[in-house]
Structures are given as structure tokens and as C-alpha cells.
Amino acid sequence: MPDQNSNQKRKPNSNKPNSGGKPSGPPDKSRYPKIHAYLAKLGIVSRRKAEDLIREKKIQVNGAVAKIGQRIKAGEDIIVVDGKKVTTGKPPVPIYILVNKPKGYVSTVKDEEGRKTVLELVPEEKDRLYPVGRLDMDSEGLMILTNDGDFTFKMTHPTHEIKKVYHVLIGGAPSNLALNHLQRGVKLKEGYVQPDEVNILRHEQGNTWLEIILHEGKNRIIRRMMRRIGYNVIRLVRVKMGPFDIKMLGQKRSIKLTKEEVKKLFTKN
């Protein structure tokens, strides 16, 4: 007895490979990197800086203005960043330099006003290094200079909640009311900011050293928080960033870590 379906046309198998042995259908775009991640991996700029440049229309791909989240074909697409063509190839050897920034230095690689920058604290290998965890000119303490964009993203993006520890000298002695206000959260223009911890370290000549732990990183955040509760910051020192401690530098202004040391530090914490 003949098969009832024998006269019906069979639908082609969409999963069947074509004559070249490759699956048919559109290419999988997910295998192409997003432009901000790609530039960070090459050590051109950090992911965040790349996104800022895209918003400012300073990055082009094949002559067209780049878009946030755009995927690119590495080695094929022509990418121009702030007027300079990107040279593709192997990512640079990662560099990680811990820096103890003194007061009076700006946390940028160059300054239009001619002020001293954190790069002046690093004796060598300054090409394509950018700062992780900026501090304002009047603040001191731990910073990191690197050309590793993925590392920068891990250290700075809020989703990773990397904690930073600050020692803050304020004028006078804070009241319990003020400390409770600070611990509950302070309203700034961006919204409420709540520290992870606030501790009194010691009193010094009528003033007070506080330890403030945060995982957020907004501009001059601690100074604005303290001003909001009625206290002036006399001195501000960042002593920890995630697994990195200012004590690691000893008396040195900067030290270089290897990729293996950085990986080991993160594994321990």
C-alpha cells in the first residue's frame, strides 16, 4: 500500500549544511565583539571612555559614526578614534601599576592646564595607560594605571561592587545624628548614596578620622556626602580598592604587578 504522504513535497531541512559544508542562514553576530569591549582589549581606551567618545561622535567605523553596542569585525572594519586610525593586532601585554597619588596631582593622562598628572609618578611604560578609580586633585591615595580594559571594567562597573575604603579627616567631632544620617544614605543630585560602612577611627586635635567604605564611584562623592551632613573634609585618603591595599606600596610611590599577581589577588578575595 503506497504511503499517503509519498506525493507530498518534502520541506527542506533548514539545519542541513549547504554544499560548502557550512550551515545556512545569517551569520551569528554574537561572535563579533562590541566596539567598546574591543577597543578596551586593545588598550586604546577603557570601555567607559569608549562609550563616552561614541556619545560625542568621536568614533567612526568604516566612515560612519559608531553606535553604542555596535559589533565590529576585528581586522576587517576600519575604526577611527578621535581622528586616529586604530591599528588592529594582538592585544598589548597587560600592565598594572599601583600608585599612591599625593595631593596636587590630577587623575588624568594629560592636562590642558599644565597641572601634574599621575603619569608623572610612573617612571616608564606610559603608553596607553589610563587610570582606574580617579581621585580629585586634593585627594590622596591608591590608584591603578593599566592598559587592560577588561580589568578596568571589573574594577569600576557598579555591577561588580568592588569596595573602596577611604580614611577621611573631618573638622570637629560628628554627632550621632549626623553619623546615622550618613549611614542611612545621603541625598545627592544623582539620588541617594549609602555607604557600606562608616566607622570612627580616632580623634585628632579636635578633628575626627572616619573610615568610609563605598562600592560606588561618583565624582567627589565623599566630599559632597560630608558637606550634605554639615562637615568639611580636611584630608581624604583612599587606602583600598578591592584586593589592592595601599600598604602594598610601602614607601614607594608606585609599583608594578604582573597579570599573575593580579589574578592571584582576586582569587584570594
Total number of residues shown for the chain: 269
**CATH assignment of the domain containing 112:** 3.30.70.580
Residue 222 domain-assigned (yes or no): yes
Alpha helices in 1-144 (DSSP H): 35-41, 47-55
Give the pairing type, strands 233-241 and 140-146.
Answer: parallel
Residue 177 domain-assigned (yes or no): yes
| 223-255 pLDDT per residue, tens | 999 999 999 999 999 999 999 999 999 999 999
| 108-140 pLDDT per residue, tens | 888 888 899 998 888 766 667 888 888 999 999
| 20-72 pLDDT per residue, tens | 444 444 455 557 888 988 888 777 887 888 888 999 999 999 888 999 989 98
- Gap between the Cα atoms of 242 and 163, Å rounded: 5
The pLDDT value given to residue 19: 45
Residues 145, 172, single domain; the answer is no
Whole-structure pTM value: 0.70
Structural domain including 119 reads 96-158+245-268
Say yes or no to pLDDT of 156 above 70: yes
- Count: domains in the chain: 3
Catalytic residue among 3, 28, 127, 136: 136
| 65-97 pLDDT per residue, tens | 999 989 988 778 888 888 888 866 666 788 899
Residue 3 domain-assigned (yes or no): no
**CATH assignment of the domain containing 232:** 3.30.70.1560
Residues 140, 261, single domain; the answer is yes
The backbone torsions φ and ψ at residue 212, rounded to the nearest 5 degrees and listed phi first, read: -120, 125
Residue 264 domain-assigned (yes or no): yes
Active site residue 136: yes
The contacts of residue 76 (CB under 8 Å, 6+ apart) are none
